[in-house]
Amino acid sequence: MAYDDLREWMAALERAGELKKIRTEVDPILEITEITDRVSKSRSNKAGELGGAALLFQNIKGYPGAQVVINQFGSARRMNLALGVNALDEVAERIRGLMDLKSPQGFLDKVKMLPRLAEMGKFFPKTVATGPCKEVIRRDKFSLLYFPVLQCWPKDAGRFITLPCVVTRDRKSGKRNVGMYRMQVYDEKTAGMHWQRQKIGAEHYREALRSAAASGNAAGPSAAVDLMARTSGGSRGSDGDMPGGKMEVAVAIGTDPAITFSAIVPAPPDIEEYLIAGFLRQKPVELVKCETLDLEVPASAEIVLEGHVHLDELRTEGPFGDHTGFYSLEDQYPVFHVSCITHRKDPIYATTIVGKPPMEDGWMGKAVERIFLPLMKLAIPELADINLPLEGIFHNLMIVSIKKSYPGQARKVMNAIWSLGQAMFTKCIVVVDEDVNVQDLGEVTLKALNHIDPERDIQFTLGPVDSLDHASRLPDYGSKMGIDATRKWSSEGFSRPWPDQIVMDAKTKALVDKKWRELGLE
């Protein structure tokens, strides 16, 4: 089932017994976080699974009439509901079907392909004249403080918008990007734009800097190069001699679940997130033009912020309690200046919190893992399965099973993973044989630790690391570790016999199965 907007999705959550309405007064400063953190680590939802319920706070201190929805994706069941499937593998199967498209060899093949191409055409976004996000238009007398933005953790630098769909456009190709980058609210009309240097939004910013430098809107090309080198998580320095100009940015808050999820997926740069959202919801996303920008935003969004990032301005952003379970430290980031706000009547403010897992973002990460496995297999055909454990916070640990067919293949797979988009940040990769269930951490621990000779089977390499990695030797640069926990072959220099795994014979197992009830051991 596809949801047209956040409200339809919330109604579905309520019908499923997955939404808890809270009418007791709560404070957006710290208190909502503490409540949500306890719920996200509980088993209090209808299905009794980890993640608790989605929460709708309806009595916000200092914000009469406002509502805050949080933890909407905070369980495996709710991620399935959000994407309208019984299991995430259904989405993966649809992706596999698309990848099976081959170049037509003749007229008959072309005819057979037409229905598939027509189906894909249904997912492209379409622009409409207006939408609910324009029920209220504020070109003046607006404020970011009008919304109940949370301060999540005690040492956070302030209030942060944590579930924004940030829309930018590539100056060369014209393609839009929708990314999710936290935004520290500085005052009524400005916020930090935390796009880390490896993100597409940051690349659009750097392209704007290059364009400004090339047009002479700067002290010189070296100024832009220096700014690009230290912007978005780089080292601090003087803010002088930077290119002038602005970059258009729109921010949608409170979108339907497919759009929100699409903003976090590691999509190839040439594929717009609006198209991915259309594919996930099986119908196109409706967009409207911004009031003051040449950008399009989801027509059904609860809130839209329109504005610009100034190319001649960086400001201290952070600290912020992050999904690593630690505070990410303050650094210099671009500043977003709001020029217009549009919103629905009585908008619902959608947000999330991150911190020590398990939390809502962990389940979104697990959905990315399952849905995009077919795309990983396209690049690495020997992959059998992968597991990104919640405690590995996406980029610290990946467990991979492979169909091993030649010596050294595990190391080849490690290097292939480190070459794939956001997977390049993976700090530790453990490679096991295909008969190991990577979703069973007990089995992985038993077999991997039995299979390795540490000096022989562990390799280290240097390269880019996640900006939030506080242990790396330098910002954005450090080491990674790969562990070859596959069975070792003689062709890999292992001359000793490899022992058999302990398994009871089938005849005895069947005999005991027949006697089990009689034994009275249930």
Query: What are the pLDDT digits (tens) for 219-238?
Result: 434 444 444 444 444 433 33
In sequence order, what DSSP letters do the residues of 85-119 get, joined into one string?
-SSTHHHHHHHHHHHT-----SHHHHHHHHHHHHH
pTM, full prediction: 0.86
> What tokens were used for 206?
């750097």
Mean pLDDT by 10 residues, the chain (522 residues): 92 95 97 96 76 95 97 94 90 75 53 52 88 95 96 96 95 88 96 86 86 64 44 39 74 96 83 90 94 96 96 92 91 95 97 93 91 87 94 90 96 94 91 96 94 95 89 91 95 90 94 93 83
Per-residue b/e over 308-326, b at no fewer than 16 CB within 10 Å?
A: bbbbbbbbebbbbbbbbee
- CA–CA separation, 499 and 494 (whole Å): 13
Would you state the pLDDT for residue 100? 59
Would you state the pLDDT for residue 98? 66
Centre a 10 Å sphere on the Cβ of residue 239 and count the other Cβ atoms it contains: 12
CB 19 within 8 A of CB 32: no
Q: Examine the residue annotation and report whether 226 is marked as an active-site residue of this protein.
A: no
Would you state the pLDDT for residue 219? 40
Would you state the pLDDT for residue 244? 59
Phi-psi region of 7 (alpha: psi -120 to 50; beta: other; left: phi over 0): alpha
Going 247 to 253 to 259 to 261, the CA torsion angle's sign is positive
Would you state the pLDDT for residue 266? 81
Catalytic residue among 5, 322, 385, 469: 322
Residues comprising the chain, all counted: 522
Would you state the pLDDT for residue 372? 85
- CA–CA separation, 258 and 367 (whole Å): 12
CB 134 within 8 A of CB 303: no
Would you state the pLDDT for residue 216? 65
Would you state the pLDDT for residue 230? 46
In sequence order, what DSSP letters do the residues of 11-35 get, joined into one string?
HHHHHTT-EEEE-S-B-TBTHHHHH
Residue ranges of domains in the chain, CATH in brackets: 123-350 (2.30.110.10), 380-492 (3.40.1670.10)
Would you state the pLDDT for residue 119? 59
- CA–CA separation, 388 and 393 (whole Å): 8
Cβ-based burial of 136 (10 A; exposed 0-12, middle 13-18, buried ≥19): middle
Pairing of strands 428-433, 477-484: parallel
Torsion of CA 273, 276, 280, 286, to 10 degrees: 60
Would you state the pLDDT for residue 190? 97
